[in-house]
Amino acid sequence: MSTMSDLKKIEVNTFQMIFLSDGLLDIYLGLTLIPYITWIYSDWAWSGILNGVVFVLFFPLFLYLKKRIVAPRVGMIKPGPARRRKMNLLVLATILAVLVTIAMIVFTGRAGGAASRMVAGIPMVFWAFSLAAVLITSIVAWLIDWPRLIVYGLLVAITIPVDAVYFLKSGRIPLTVIPMLVMVGTGIYMLVRFLRRYPLPQMGEMA
Amino acid sequence: MSQEVEERKEFLPILENLDRVIHSPARLMILTFLYVVEEGDMVYLHNQTGLTWGNLSANVQKLKEAGYVEVKKSFVDDRPQTWVRLTDEGRQAFRDYRGQMKGVLDDLPD
């Protein structure tokens, strides 16, 4: 009677199938690294604006594709109370992550302060960013039952200090391109698999 | 009467009183997948249960007649959309059924 005893597992599987199995979130997260990569790559002053453009352009596109590609294939759900509590915590975690990031940017701006102190030859602020990447992705991964996000977080965390030493404003492509490609590549693979696994139901067959 | 027969007799009332509306694989699957969410549409139920549209629709109708689910129909972008949710009564019936089955299966002699 696995269907009777594994209700929690069924809930997690349902959530993952509806919200994470299509790979769109992987692709979106990978693309959000582009502004950071351009900032590491050069002195290009438009990185900040690009950040906004990526959010304004890609987030609605992400939602649109979810509605057009995912919902007609696997259906839609409204999560139960336990999942909604986790989602509320996710909103809190996201707000906290934004506040921490802003604090770090302010912290970095103070020349000669603790941020410019070197640890193992790397400015401390990059270690802080690295640690934040691991912590935030781990918390979010736990909240939304998405273990793959921990791997993405680790990859980003490893490349941040390396980029800071070897690639910062060097005009060479930084290592953060690797996690970006991993995320986008994984997302595309999952999207193709999703489209094959869940064909669009014909109008005539639907109830 | 042997002890084994006595034990078997204890289970009989539980098995006889099992909710027949729920005690069908198709409806049990539908209720299970509705139990873990607030509500879901028919595409979701079709994917999760693997039932044909006709079978799914017929069993949802039976659950609706029993008062275990509520059905809302609408059109989104010219496509029909049918939302199904467990009523409080349906949720309680599923919990009761789950408890009864667990009790019977857990206490069965090896």
Q: Give the DSSP per-residue string, A117-160.
A: -EETTEEHHHHHHHHHHHHHHHHHHHHTT-THHHHHHHHHHHHH
Does the residue B14 lie in any domain? Answer: yes
Q: Is the pLDDT of residue A155 over 90?
A: yes
Better-predicted residue by pLDDT, A31 or B77? A31
How buried is residue A136: exposed, middle or buried, by Cβ count under 10 Å (0-12/13-18/19+)?
A: buried
SS3 B20: coil
Does the residue B92 lie in any domain? Answer: yes
The total number of structural domains that make up chain B: 1
Tokens of A25: 């979130």
The CATH code of the domain that includes B63 is 1.10.10.10
Query: Which residue matches tokens 């959010």?
Result: A55
Q: Is the pLDDT of residue A28 over 80?
A: yes
Which chain A residues touch B80 with a CB distance below 8 Å?
A: 203, 206-207
Most A CBs within 10 Å, among B37, B41, B81, to test the A interface: B37
pLDDT score for B75? 83
A74-78, B10-14, B40-44: which range is least confident on average? B10-14
Reported ipTM exceeds the 0.90 cut: no
Q: Is the pLDDT of residue A169 over 50?
A: yes
Does the residue B94 lie in any domain? Answer: yes
Q: What is the pLDDT of residues B13-26, one digit of tens each?
A: 777 778 889 989 99
SS3 B58: helix
Does the residue B15 lie in any domain? Answer: yes
DSSP strands (E only) in chain B: 37-41, 69-76, 79-86
Which chain A residues touch B48 with a CB distance below 8 Å?
A: 14
Better-predicted residue by pLDDT, B103 or B41? B41
Let me know the angle formed at the C-alpha of A63 by A102 and A25, rounded to the nearest 5 degrees.
65
A73-77, A120-124, B61-65: which range is least confident on average? A120-124
Does the residue B110 lie in any domain? Answer: no
Which structural domain, as residue segments, surrounds residue B59? 3-105
Out of A4, A75, A83, the one facing B43 most closely (by C-beta) is A75
